[in-house]
Amino acid sequence: MNPRLLLLCVALCSPLPALADAIRVSLEGRAALGEKLPTLLVHIEEPIAGFEVKLKRSDGKELNLKGGGKPGITRRIELEQPEGRFHYEGELVVRFPDAEAGTLPLSFDTELNGPLKLEVRKEDVDVAGRKLRFTLSRPAARAELTVLMDTGKKAYMGDVSFKGEPAGTPLELTWPAEEGRVMKISLRAFDTSEFYTGLDLFPWQVDIPHEEVNFASGSADVPAGERSKLDRSHALIADALSKYGRFAALRLYVLGHTDTVGPTADNRELSLKRARSLAVYFRKRGLRVPVLYEGFGEQAPAVATPDETAEVGNRRAEYIIAVEDPTLQQAPYPPRWRKL
């Protein structure tokens, strides 16, 4: 072997020493799909006539690439490969101006990774139990977690280490008790190659207590005598928006309900119209946040009754302030929120 060559095995886990004068090799072994490819770098330090890279990939694919250049030039050899981790074995053959040649053995690993996928299901967010579960699409290394309360204080902010648990393994994070309600959970998760992805969760919501508006039978118009109730409700809503709106972008959700007197379909339509009337009233009073509404008719009663029962407790509305669509305990079907 010509002593002017750098004799080394390129490895991801150790630094690459520069031990020779003519040729130096380094590796950019990790890459993100769609952004770049793993790349072998040939640094030319002294005059050469040219070089040839011969490689065999762990899936059997063979690569043969030629190049050259003047001293001070670095040739980047991009390694076209599928997504995943691969091992390469081969050699770099260098020809010198005096017709001598030398061979540099090469042995290295590469990774080409697609987007890291993070999954958190709704049932994986246990605010009462102060737990968050999630899965990653590749082995897990660590996570950064921040839990913000609606008091402005942070219940937790820090790193949690994992042990390379395989893709799809349920992972769990916890946080200590803190005054207030959880407003925002920020999660950033890293795989063992230090690729990361993240998301923000907003499990927070507030139900606004209020006096119920008494509508005329079959009507969705707000009676003049009932408007003072909505004015008081508007004041409570505005106060809550002022108090918590500095932590996140808030929305108002208005839900309508009826008792069981009359056909189910008619009650559903009536509750929807009444919810819209209430939402419109709040908008006209000056609310500038998004306002959404839905009606559940007689299908989510607060008081269980036989059919055709005039129960005042079931002729009601709900006013909920939240960041994301709120969690409803008794929803008979997934709500289809309408936006004003």
Handedness of CA 135, 136, 141, 146 (dihedral sign): negative
| Pair 104, 3: CB distance under 8 Å | no
Side-chain-facing half-sphere of 239: CA atoms under 13 Å: 9
Number of C-beta neighbours around residue 176 at 10 A: 8
Structural domain includes residue 57: yes
Residue ending a domain, choose from 48, 82, 112: 112
pLDDT digits (tens, 9 = 90+) for 5-48: 443 444 433 333 333 578 899 999 999 888 899 999 999 999 99
The mean pLDDT of 148-157, rounded to a whole number, is 96
The mean pLDDT of 305-319, rounded to a whole number, is 93
Which residue range forms the structural domain that includes residue 235?
205-339
pLDDT digits (tens, 9 = 90+) for 37-77: 999 999 999 999 999 999 999 999 999 999 999 999 999 99
- What the block records as the tokens of 316 is 């009601």
Residue ending a domain, choose from 89, 112, 135: 112
Beta-bridge partners for 254: 293, 319
pTM of the model: 0.74
**At 324, which CATH number?**
3.30.1330.60
- H and E: helices and strands count for the chain: 2, 21
Structural domain includes residue 13: no
Structural domain includes residue 124: yes
CA–CA gap between residue 190 and residue 198 (Å, rounded): 9
Structural domain includes residue 133: yes
CA–CA gap between residue 198 and residue 117 (Å, rounded): 9
pLDDT digits (tens, 9 = 90+) for 92-140: 999 999 888 889 999 999 999 899 999 999 899 999 999 999 999 999 9
**At 101, which CATH number?**
2.60.40.10
- The answer on 106 and 196 residing in a single domain is no
Give residue 100's pLDDT. 86
Structural domain includes residue 261: yes
The pLDDT > 90 percentage for the chain reads 85
Residue ending a domain, choose from 59, 81, 112: 112
The mean pLDDT of 128-153, rounded to a whole number, is 97
Structural domain includes residue 12: no
